[in-house]
Structure 1
Amino acid sequence: MKKKQISLEVVNPNAAGIDIGSRSHWVAVGQNAQDVKEFGVYSQDHQELCEWLKKHKVTTIAMESTGTYWQNLFSSLVVFGFDVILVNGRQTKNIKGKKTDILDCQWIQKLHTLRLLSSSFLPDSTTAVIRTYSRHRQNILKQSASAILKMQKYLRLMNMRLDVVVKDIVGLTGTKIITAFIGGEKSGKVLAQNRHYNCRKSEDEISRALQYNGREDYYFALKQEWETYLHLQKQIDQVDIQIKKHLEEVINNDDDKKQHIASKKPYKRKNKNTIRNADMNQLSYQYFEGVDLMAIEGVNDATLMAFISEIGLEGINKFESAKQFTSWLRLAPNNKISGGRVLSHHLPKGSNRLKVALRQAANTIGNLKDGHLSDFFRRINYKKGRATAISATARKLAVIIWNMLTRGIPYHPPTEYLFLDQKRKLKLVNRIKRNIAKFDIKPEDIGLTKILNIST
């Protein structure tokens, strides 16, 4: 009986596969032993690797993303003119059996030859620079938060219960008290005089909470953590300057960006961890070429910075539809169907910084009292709980933002959300209208006719 054979079409005949390593890279241009070669990780080795690939007439290359080891080689290959795709390690898993570097690079080459690998998302060069600054800033913020927790611990061990009487120990009141305490002042009554007038606790209660027990070891540790915290705050300021400078350079070098002027939004609250001394409303409006993302309720400076640094304007245009974008964010349900029946429809595991930013914005929307997105959040929350409502609202936000950035569709919700100053103005106008109708006030009674005549 004749054996059946199944053949797959070769789509990329001049393909190569690279298995990335920390000390060396294994490259395969075919499935024979002589088609595999090992190269080092230095710049000279990258040059030799590119020339070897040119010699074998390779045009397209697939490499597995392994930590940050792939980045320098990726740049070298792009400069040489190769078509390079970066592949997630989940796609390149080999069948069970003996695992070696040679077999891995040959397996990657075989899959890429048959076009069974899909490329991971990579930002453009401008977005990559801002991403580096932004992620470095987030790491410093985490270190700063850790330093605050340690200071709070040492203050508690010294019987200085600053965390009880103030909401934030590094706020206006807490900063002055800690600075004076480290400066040598140990009296609780004198330290309490640094109370800010907005503090809810009285000066007497603050003085009773600050009774130093004389532990010099904890005092020394607190002093060093305070110095660390101040140093980290200086670093954050320096990173903020770099981010603002780079964004302004990108905007000023593009006539399509710098011509736009955003409307001011004083009703948008600023978080203490957002970029300082920078108007993100104006910068994002210019960066996205006249698209006002800040008009969406729940979107703040952190959400805008996440979009600018993680995907950018060019990056979001790589997604052909909002479904692709939400699927990449892992906010779309992963439907598993068998026998015509849906087995599960949970969100796929995994997260990224942009997804986290959208979920935080969705959580903020859930705390609003009214608005189109807030009503949507409450409907889902009532049916399936807050966790599901946050995911659903984050996905809805992603779809809205994709449509705004790719199609230029402005945000016009069916029921417009009114911010605090807008609500106050509306209430005042309605009260004036009621009083005019109640007392039958004519324009001439309050001198409006004279004003109108003067203006005309």
Structure 2
Amino acid sequence: MAKKKLEMDIINPHCAGIDIGSRSHFVATGQALDDVKEFGVYADDLIEICEHLNAHGITSVAMESTGSYWQNLYVELVKHGFDVVLANGKFTKNIKGKKTDVKDARWIQKLHSIGLLTGSFLPDDQTETLRTYCRQRQNWLDLAVEATHKMQKYLKLLNFRLDVVVRDVCGLTGMTIIKDICKGNLNPQELAKHRHYNCRKSQDEIAKALKGNNRTDYLFGLKQEFESYEFYQKKIAECEKMIAAFLKSQINTNAQKKKLKTTDKQHKRLNKNAIKGIDLNQASFQYFGGVDLMVIEGLGHSTILSIISEVGPEGFSKFETAKHFTSWLRLAPNNKISGGKLLSSKTPKGSNRLKIALRNAANAIGNLKDTHLSNFFNRVCYRKGRTVAVSATARKLAVIIWNMVVKQIPYQPPTQYLFLDEKRKLGMVKRIRKQMDRFERTNADLGFVTT
């Protein structure tokens, strides 16, 4: 009896598969061995790949997102008018037998021809440009933090216990003292005179903490780390100038966005790592066309900057629903069901910069009191712990942000968040009313005018 051959419908008849490599790319225009050809990675080789695909009548191309080697080829293919599907590598690893570049290229072409590959999310050109600036700024911030830790290490080795008398070693008092130490001033009394008036410790206590061993090797290391820290701060400022100029250029080119104005958010505190040179509250409101993301409690300037640079206003529309968006962020439970039984509902592994930013915002929400989101956080935290509550609140934030940007639904929580001054006024009114009820007095008795 002859074996039956199972055939599947061809979804993409004129397609090709490309196996991306660091030194060469393998292009498969069919399933025969002669249909696979190897190309280099230089600019001329990329153009040759496009000409080779055009010669074979290819209209759609699939390839893996391998490292950063795919980016130049992707840009060249899009420039030549090909429909490019950038697939996640984990969806193309079920090939049978030994793994080779030729087999990978043929396997990718086969999966793409029957429509089993889905493309990854890619931001638009404007968002990608802004993302480059923001990620570079974050890289410099990480290096600055590393230099800060090394400065603290050398201060401890010198027995300068600045970390005991100053809350932030890289604050105004700490940096002024470190700068003077690097200049050669080791007199504790003279160094203590740099105390800022907001510092809680007295000048005498600071001077007592700055009596060290004055070893020259540790002083040399401290000086070098301080110079590195100043260098990183200079590079951060340069990145912030580019980010501010780019956002202003995008807003000024649109007359409608330029006219939009939002309310000040004085309660949103600016720390020393917040972006400078631009009002991000106003810029984000204009950039998203009147969507005020800053009204959400827990969302700070760093989170807003991550949303702008990682997804952008046009990127949200690429996700059909809020569930698709949360699934892309790896914040939605991955339910595995077999035989009608739920085997697992763990959140899948993996994270990106936006997921980390939303989780940090969710963690900040957990420290708030009497807000809609903090009450949700506390309910989940009571039942399943803080780690699960952070993920659940981050997912809730993602759903709120998607609905605000895509559906233009303003954020209106059931219970409004009251700040400290508002709580004090409300408490005073309640106490006055309680006293009036106690002594059976009305507004007219006290001379209050009611409208």
Range into which the TM-score falls when normalised by the shorter chain:
over 0.9
Q: Which residue of 1 aligns with 2:59?
A: 59
Instruction: Tell me the distance in 2 between the aligned counterparts of 1:167 and 1:221.
Output: 22
2:383 maps to 1:389: no
Deviates more, 1:175-184 or 1:155-164: 175-184
> Which runs of 5 or more structure 2 residues have no equivalent in the other structure?
none
Instruction: Tell me the distance in 2 between the aligned counterparts of 1:444 and 1:91.
Output: 75
Deviates more, 1:181-190 or 1:235-244: 181-190
Q: Which residue of 1 aligns with 2:178?
A: 178
Q: 1:52-91 residue pairs with structure 2 within 5 A?
A: 52-91=52-91
Q: 1:12-411 residue pairs with structure 2 within 5 A?
A: 12-411=12-411
Tell me by how many angstroms 1:34 deviates.
2.1
TM-score for the superposition, normalised by structure 1:
0.94
Amino acid in the other structure paired with 2:276: R
Q: Does structure 2 conserve the Cα–Cα contact (< 8 Å) formed by 1:337 and 1:344? A: yes
Q: Does structure 1 conserve the Cα–Cα contact (< 8 Å) formed by 2:20 and 2:64? A: yes
Deviates more, 1:347-356 or 1:203-212: 203-212
Q: Does structure 2 conserve the Cα–Cα contact (< 8 Å) formed by 1:193 and 1:203? A: yes
Instruction: Tell me the distance in 2 between the aligned counterparts of 1:208 and 1:181.
Output: 15
Tell me by how many angstroms 1:65 deviates.
0.8
Tell me by how many angstroms 1:198 deviates.
1.4
Structure-2 change in CA distance of 1:264 and 1:432 (3 Å): farther
Q: Does structure 2 conserve the Cα–Cα contact (< 8 Å) formed by 1:337 and 1:343? A: yes
Structure-2 change in CA distance of 1:412 and 1:347 (3 Å): same
Q: Does structure 1 conserve the Cα–Cα contact (< 8 Å) formed by 2:186 and 2:214? A: no
Corresponding residue SS for 2:214: coil
Instruction: Tell me the distance in 2 between the aligned counterparts of 1:191 and 1:428.
Output: 47
Tell me by how many angstroms 1:39 deviates.
1.2
Tell me by how many angstroms 1:380 deviates.
0.5
Structure-2 change in CA distance of 1:428 and 1:176 (3 Å): farther
CA offsets, 1:199-247, max 9 Å, x none? 1222121111111212001101111110110110011111011101101
Corresponding residue SS for 2:283: helix
Amino acid in the other structure paired with 2:394: A
Instruction: Tell me the distance in 2 between the aligned counterparts of 1:180 and 1:379.
Output: 50
Amino acid in the other structure paired with 2:308: I
Structure-2 change in CA distance of 1:444 and 1:157 (3 Å): closer
Tell me by how many angstroms 1:46 deviates.
1.2
Structure-2 change in CA distance of 1:320 and 1:443 (3 Å): farther
Structure-2 change in CA distance of 1:443 and 1:24 (3 Å): farther
Instruction: Tell me the distance in 1 between the aligned counterparts of 2:186 and 2:308.
Output: 47
Instruction: Tell me the distance in 2 between the aligned counterparts of 1:52 and 1:2.
Output: 39
CA offsets, 1:110-129, max 9 Å, x none? 11111110100000000001
Instruction: Tell me the distance in 1 between the aligned counterparts of 2:14 and 2:168.
Output: 61
Q: Does structure 2 conserve the Cα–Cα contact (< 8 Å) formed by 1:332 and 1:395? A: yes
Q: Does structure 2 conserve the Cα–Cα contact (< 8 Å) formed by 1:94 and 1:104? A: no
**Identity across the alignment (%):** 58
Amino acid in the other structure paired with 1:288: F
CA offsets, 1:164-185, max 9 Å, x none? 1111111011011111211221
CA offsets, 1:382-419, max 9 Å, x none? 11110111111111111111111100000110011112
CA offsets, 1:334-370, max 9 Å, x none? 0111121111100001111111111111111100011
Q: Does structure 1 conserve the Cα–Cα contact (< 8 Å) formed by 2:95 and 2:104? A: no
Tell me by how many angstroms 1:428 deviates.
5.5
Amino acid in the other structure paired with 1:323: K
Instruction: Tell me the distance in 2 between the aligned counterparts of 1:428 and 1:139.
Output: 48
Instruction: Tell me the distance in 1 between the aligned counterparts of 2:201 and 2:338.
Output: 62
Q: Does structure 2 conserve the Cα–Cα contact (< 8 Å) formed by 1:18 and 1:28? A: yes
Instruction: Tell me the distance in 2 between the aligned counterparts of 1:47 and 1:395.
Output: 43
Q: Does structure 2 conserve the Cα–Cα contact (< 8 Å) formed by 1:359 and 1:390? A: yes
Instruction: Tell me the distance in 2 between the aligned counterparts of 1:305 and 1:78.
Output: 28
Tell me by how many angstroms 1:422 deviates.
3.3
Instruction: Tell me the distance in 2 between the aligned counterparts of 1:256 and 1:82.
Output: 34
CA root-mean-square deviation: 2.0
Aligned residues: 449
Corresponding residue SS for 1:355: helix
TM-score for the superposition, normalised by structure 2:
0.95
Instruction: Tell me the distance in 2 between the aligned counterparts of 1:91 and 1:444.
Output: 75
Tell me by how many angstroms 1:427 deviates.
4.3
Instruction: Tell me the distance in 2 between the aligned counterparts of 1:192 and 1:418.
Output: 40
Q: Does structure 2 conserve the Cα–Cα contact (< 8 Å) formed by 1:28 and 1:37? A: yes
